[in-house]
């Protein structure tokens, strides 16, 4: 049991959608609430995050939609901070970090900034100034993000690596659940079903997966591809080679309400990203006992242990991806072993561990043990 006194914590995230970063904020806030901490969460008016927070019963402060530069919103938020007196402000995206600094300048609190993206800043001097002045601690979701941040000028001593967390399913999917989903998809047990999950943005590499699948048509005719997630943002990039066209071998689910409607039905999970801060979707796959085939980029090698929980291939190579899918389909015993080892690996990234490490960082900041 935690013997430290409960904290007052303000969070901020300025994303409009409900993607990985916003879901991690929700998971963190839920875990902190269970530990007795008092929280308020700042978000954009009308955002998906605002809706989710209201459904979960969290106190929110919504930045007005008519205020594009958020000047009025920051003034209102500062008034709230002065009266409520939180000890910690945790910014979960870059714009939120700047707004948190303006709103809390001169107030007796500690500022934390999460860093989960891999892009290198065009102006390292500005980046160095931002991470030296606007926050007291930085949370990097992977060792890769920490090293990129240090190279860009962020003080190493301020950076703590706290990977994203996931809720581990109580048990692996049953054969009955697998069969039920496959029947719904019009697939049989003889098919080798490969899954993709997430938004169809350029960095996620969906075009690489489609091009790789086109190469499988003759060599692995029983292969099937299931794509789940938001495809409203489709890559404008010219496809690599000849992209596979939609056919009976490709199923697009769109957004799924529950991961139970996706992972139990697949044999292999693909994450062909061009860049990736960590790759929490790969963690979800392993938690469901699904081996992972991922690009060797960003934080993915910190999750996927090659030849133990899955395979790593060069980013942007349909041929390498296709060859690895064929190898995976050829060895069901290896898939079963990777499934068991992947599940154990995922347990090292549980939501409880993420919440515990973040809470520990907050207390160290308040105690003056981290600057």
Distance CA 371, CA 367 (A): 10
Question: Higher pLDDT residue, 53 or 3?
Answer: 53
Average pLDDT for residues 274-291, to the nearest whole number?
Answer: 95
Give me the pLDDT at residue 230, please: 73
**332-346 and 280-287 are packed helices; what angle lies between their axes, rounded to 10 degrees?**
110
pLDDT at 234 over 50: no
Average pLDDT, the chain: 92
**20-34 and 280-287 are packed helices; what angle lies between their axes, rounded to 10 degrees?**
60
Q: How confident is the model at residue 240 (pLDDT cuts 50, 70, 90)?
A: very low
Give me the pLDDT at residue 246, please: 54
pLDDT at 82 over 60: yes
pTM of the model: 0.90
Average pLDDT for residues 203-215, to the nearest whole number?
Answer: 93
Give me the pLDDT at residue 200, please: 77
Highest mean pLDDT among 16-20, 65-69, 129-133, 167-171: 167-171
- What secondary structure letter does DSSP report for 158? G
Domains along the sequence of the chain with CATH? 8-165+350-366 (3.40.50.2000), 175-349 (3.40.50.2000)
CB-CB neighbours of 155 under 10 Å: 14
Q: How confident is the model at residue 127 (pLDDT cuts 50, 70, 90)?
A: confident
β-bridge mates for residue 160, sequence order: 139
pLDDT in tens, 213-225: 999 988 999 999 9
* 139 and 358 Cβ atoms separated by less than 8 Å: yes
Average pLDDT for residues 265-283, to the nearest whole number?
Answer: 95
pLDDT at 243 over 60: no
Question: Higher pLDDT residue, 68 or 279?
Answer: 279
Closest CA to 342 of 276, 267, 272, 273: 267
Distance CA 2, CA 6 (A): 9
């Amino acid at each position: 049991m935690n013997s430290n006194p409960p904290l007052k914590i303000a969070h901020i995230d300025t994303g409009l959608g409900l993607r990985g970063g916003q879901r991690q904020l929700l998971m963190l806030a839920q875990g902190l609430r269970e530990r007795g901490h008092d929280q308020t969460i700042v978000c954009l008016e009308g955002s998906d995050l605002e809706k989710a927070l209201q459904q979960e019963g969290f106190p929110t402060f919504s930045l007005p939609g008519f205020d594009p530069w958020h000047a009025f919103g920051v003034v209102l938020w500062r008034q709230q901070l002065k009266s409520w007196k939180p000890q910690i402000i945790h910014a979960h995206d870059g714009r939120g970090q700047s707004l948190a600094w303006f709103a809390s300048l001169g107030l007796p609190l500690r500022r934390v900034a999460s860093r989960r993206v891999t892009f290198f800043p065009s102006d390292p001097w500005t980046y160095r100034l931002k991470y030296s002045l606007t926050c007291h601690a930085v949370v990097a979701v992977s060792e890769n993000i920490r090293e990129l941040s240090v190279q860009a000028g962020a003080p190493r001593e301020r950076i703590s690596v706290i990977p994203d967390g996931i809720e581990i399913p109580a048990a692996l999917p049953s054969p009955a659940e697998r069969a039920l989903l496959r029947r719904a998809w019009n697939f049989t047990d003889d098919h080798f079903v490969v899954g993709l999950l997430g938004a169809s943005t350029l960095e996620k590499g969906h075009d690489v997966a489609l091009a790789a699948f086109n190469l499988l048509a003759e060599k692995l005719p029983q292969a099937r591809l299931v794509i789940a997630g938001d495809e409203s943002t489709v890559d404008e990039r010219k496809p690599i080679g000849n992209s596979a066209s939609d056919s009976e071998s490709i199923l697009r689910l769109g957004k799924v309400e529950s991961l139970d409607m996706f992972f139990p039905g697949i044999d292999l999970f693909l994450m062909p990203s061009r860049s990736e801060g960590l790759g929490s979707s790969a963690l979800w796959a392993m938690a469901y006992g699904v081996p992972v085939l991922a690009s060797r980029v960003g934080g993915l090698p910190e999750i996927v242990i090659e030849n133990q929980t899955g395979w790593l291939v060069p980013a942007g190579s349909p041929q390498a991806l296709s060859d690895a899918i064929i190898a995976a389909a050829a060895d069901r015993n290896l898939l079963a072993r990777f499934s068991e080892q992947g599940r154990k690996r995922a347990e090292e990234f549980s939501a409880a561990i993420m919440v515990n490490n973040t809470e520990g960082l907050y207390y160290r900041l308040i105690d003056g043990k981290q600057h």
